Structures are given as C-alpha cells and as structure tokens.
Homo-oligomer: A and B are copies of this chain.
Amino acid sequence: MSYQVNALEILAENFRRLPGIGAKSAQRLAFHVLNMPNEQAQAFAEAIINAKNQIHRCPECCNLTDSEKCTVCGDAKRDRSVICVVSAPSDVIAIEKTAGFNGLYHVLHGVISPLDNIGPAELCIKELVQRLGNDEVKEVILATSPTVEGDTTALYIAKLIKPLGVAVTRLAYGIPVGSDLEYADELTLSKAIENRREV
C-alpha cells in the first residue's frame, strides 16, 4: 500500500502469505477484518492460536487431533484389521466423506520427493511399520495420490511391509491421474476404495 497504516499493512501482508491470495484480495480481507465486530476478530485470532497450540499428531495414526487420540483411532466400532495410508490429513477428511471405509488410517505427512529433499525418513513410515507389529492388521490400503511421487511412495511402502505378511492393496484407478486426491469427487473416491487391487 502506498500510504502508511502499519497495522493494516501488516494484516494484509499476513493474508497475502496464504496460498491463493494475492495483493488485492489480501487488502480486501484486511478491510473485512477491520469491519468485523470486535468479538468476531478476537475469535478469529484465538482460533489461529488454539489450532496451533491444541492440535498435535495422534500417537497411533499420526493424523491431526486436539484430544489424546484422534476420533477414528478412539472409535471402538472401526475395523482395526485394515489401515488406509494417506499422505495428508485432508485426505482422511475426503475419504471419511465417502462413508465407504470403516477401517483405520495412517497419515504419512508427505510423499517421497527427492527434488524437495523429502525421503522416507521425513515421513511417518516407521510409525506405520510399528503398527503392523501385532497380528491384528490384515490389510494395508495405499491411498496416496496417483502422481509420480504418490506412486513412488506407495511402491516403497509396499516393498517394505509385504515381508511382514499383511495384504497390501492400492486404490483402484478411477481417480483422474495427475490430480490431487483431496479434490476427487466422493463417488469416484468411493469407487476407488471399492475396487482396490493387490500390489
């Protein structure tokens, strides 16, 4: 901005750093915050702080949670013999929306991507291997996105855990290749879970 209202510029700059928000939108959002009732702005600021402070990884599945265990791991009705491995917490939300899966999840928090210096050690893969130590788990569904990095990650995990004697499956093709799992429509995703195939 070309005239100095520091507090406003700082707020706009903070919005501009968010993904998909340019300078004009950031300015518009900053003005919108200024016109909010005080309580609402306060609630917004608190929501940011609380999300950062309260949310941590579930000790079992590495998904995000604000209680001791995530709601899926804590739910006694879920089928503990199947684990669906995804790359991000948003993928869990996408799959839960299909209501077509009743097992547990495991969140890797990324995919293997040598160009970005992300190797297997940066992902929650060892936590997955630990979970397979007991005999309860019969099947692992690899539900990474069907991209080069997603496929590489799935292949790496398949090779690693097949010797442990669990069935390893991959989501059926049906998801448009090259797209992001998070944005697949619910029907496609539901079909993909139904038609998963052994690696």
Which A residues are closer than 8 A to B by beta carbons? Answer: 1-8, 10-11, 13-14, 17-20, 24-25, 27-34, 36, 38, 40-52, 54-55, 64-66, 70-72, 88-90, 92-93, 96-97, 99, 183
Contacts and interface: CB of A to CB of B under 8 A. Distances in A.
Contacts of A51: 7-8, 10-11, 30, 33-34, 41
A65 B14 contact: no
Listed from nearest, the 7 A-B pairs whose CB atoms lie closest are: A45-B45, A11-B47, A11-B51, A45-B48, A7-B54, A14-B44, A2-B96
A38 to B, nearest CB: 6
A75 to B, nearest CB: 9
Given A65-B5, A66-B8, A90-B31, A52 B41 contact: yes
A3 B93 contact: yes
A179 to B, nearest CB: 14
A66 B7 contact: yes
Given A34-B55, A44-B14, A6 B92 contact: no
Given A18-B29, A43-B14, A90-B27, A64 B2 contact: no
Contact of A3 (B3, B5, B92, B183): B92
Given A52-B33, A66-B5, A46 B45 contact: yes
A34 B52 contact: yes
A50 B49 CA distance: 15
B1 A18 contact: no
Contacts of A55: 5, 7-8, 34
